[in-house]
A and B are shown apart, each in its own frame.
Chain A
Amino acid sequence: MKRPATRGICILLAVALNGWPWLEARDPAPGFVAPSQGQPPASAAPFFREGVINPESPHAVSHVPSVTELPDGRLAATWYAGSREGGRDVAIYFSLLAPGAAQWSSPRAIVTRESAERDLNRAIRKVGNSVVFADETGKLWVIYVTVSIGGWSGSSLNVTTSLNGGTTWSRSERLTLSPFFNLAELVKNAPVPLSDGGWAVPIYHELTSTFPELLWLHETADEVRATKSRLGAGWYGYQPALAPLTRSRALAFLRDDGAARAVSLARTDDGGETWSDPEPLNLPNPDAGLDAIGLSDGRLLLAFNDSARDRSNLRLAISADEGQTWTRVATLAEEADEEFSYPFLTQTRAGDVHVLYTWKRKAIKHVVFNTAWLDERRSRAAE
Chain B
Amino acid sequence: MNEQVLTQLTAAAWPWLVLVLCAQFVAGRLGLTTRGWQPLVVSGAIAAVLLLVPVSGLSVARRIAGISTNFSITFTGILAVMAWERAFARSVFTERDWRTGWGFGAIGGLALYPMALGLGSVDPYEWGWQFSPLFVVVGVLTAWLLWKGYRFGLLLVIAAAAFHLRLLESTNYWDYLLDPIYVVVSIIAMSRRLMSRARDEIPLRREVP
> Which residues of chain A have C-beta atoms less than 8 A from B66's C-beta?
122-124, 148-149
> Which residues of chain B have C-beta atoms less than 8 A from A2's C-beta?
149
Flag if A179 contacts B113 (CB, 8 Å). yes
User: Which residue from A10, A15, A207 sits with its C-beta under 8 Å from B117?
Assistant: A207
Flag if B175 contacts A121 (CB, 8 Å). no
A230, CB-defined interface residue at 8 Å: yes
CA distance A1 to B154 in the complex (A): 9
CA distance A344 to B153 in the complex (A): 51
Flag if B143 contacts A176 (CB, 8 Å). no
Closest Cβ–Cβ distance, residue B160 to chain A (whole Å): 4
User: Which residue from A18, A26, A122 sits with its C-beta under 8 Å from B58?
Assistant: A122
Q: Which of B23-31, B39-47, B82-90, B124-132 contacts A (4 or more CB under 8 A)?
A: B124-132
Flag if A17 contacts B157 (CB, 8 Å). yes
CA distance A180 to B113 in the complex (A): 7
Flag if A179 contacts B116 (CB, 8 Å). yes
A108, CB-defined interface residue at 8 Å: no
B203, CB-defined interface residue at 8 Å: no
User: Which residue from A122, A207, A228 sits with its C-beta under 8 Å from B62?
Assistant: A122
A14, CB-defined interface residue at 8 Å: yes
Interface size, B (range): 35 or more
CA distance A21 to B130 in the complex (A): 6
> Which residues of chain B have C-beta atoms less than 8 A from A22's C-beta?
131, 135
Binary B-proximity of A220-255 (CB < 8 A = 1, otherwise 0): 000001111110111100000000000000000000
User: Which residue from B129, B131, B143 sits with its C-beta under 8 Å from A15?
Assistant: B143
Binary A-proximity of B106-122 (CB < 8 A = 1, otherwise 0): 00000011001111111
> Which residues of chain B have C-beta atoms less than 8 A from A60's C-beta?
none
Complex interface residues of chain A between 90 and 147 (CB less than 8 A to chain B)? 117, 121-124
Given A11-B143, A14-B146, A122-B58, A179:B125 Cβ within 8 A: yes
Flag if B146 contacts A18 (CB, 8 Å). no
Flag if A7 contacts B118 (CB, 8 Å). no
Closest Cβ–Cβ distance, residue A23 to chain B (whole Å): 8
Complex interface residues of chain A between 326 and 350 (CB less than 8 A to chain B)? none
CA distance A11 to B156 in the complex (A): 11
> Which residues of chain A have C-beta atoms less than 8 A from B121's C-beta?
230, 232-234
Closest Cβ–Cβ distance, residue B158 to chain A (whole Å): 10
> Which residues of chain A have C-beta atoms less than 8 A from B169's C-beta?
174, 176
> Which residues of chain A have C-beta atoms less than 8 A from B130's C-beta?
21, 24, 26, 227
Closest Cβ–Cβ distance, residue A271 to chain B (whole Å): 15
Among B4, B122, B139, B153, residue most surrounded by chain A Cβ atoms (within 10 Å): B139
A320, CB-defined interface residue at 8 Å: no
Given A1-B154, A182-B68, A208-B118, A225:B149 Cβ within 8 A: no
> Which residues of chain B have C-beta atoms less than 8 A from A180's C-beta?
113, 116-117, 180
Closest Cβ–Cβ distance, residue B201 to chain A (whole Å): 31
Chain A residue, CB-CB nearest to B122: A230
Chain A residue, CB-CB nearest to B173: A21
Binary A-proximity of B162-174 (CB < 8 A = 1, otherwise 0): 0110000111101
Chain A residue, CB-CB nearest to B160: A17
CA distance A233 to B119 in the complex (A): 8
Flag if A117 contacts B58 (CB, 8 Å). yes
Closest Cβ–Cβ distance, residue B5 to chain A (whole Å): 10
CA distance A164 to B154 in the complex (A): 48
Binary A-proximity of B18-62 (CB < 8 A = 1, otherwise 0): 000000000000000000000000000000000000000010001
B161, CB-defined interface residue at 8 Å: yes
User: Which residue from B62, B136, B157, B163 sits with its C-beta under 8 Å from A123?
Assistant: B62
> Which residues of chain B have C-beta atoms less than 8 A from A179's C-beta?
112-113, 116, 125, 172, 174-175, 178-180
CA distance A2 to B139 in the complex (A): 21
* 6 examples of A-B residue contacts, CB within 8 angstroms: A11-B147, A17-B160, A18-B160, A149-B67, A227-B126, A229-B126
Listed in ascending order, the chain B residues whose CB lies under 8 Å from chain A are 4, 8, 58, 62-63, 65-70, 112-113, 116-123, 125-126, 129-131, 135-136, 138-139, 142-143, 146-147, 149, 151, 153-154, 156-157, 160-161, 163-164, 169-172, 174-175, 178-180
Given contacts A10-B153, A19-B139, A182-B68, 8 further A-B contacts (CB under 8 A): A2-B149, A10-B146, A18-B138, A121-B8, A123-B62, A179-B116, A182-B170, A211-B118
Nearest 9 interchain pairs by C-beta: A18-B139, A233-B121, A123-B66, A17-B160, A148-B66, A21-B131, A176-B170, A14-B142, A122-B65
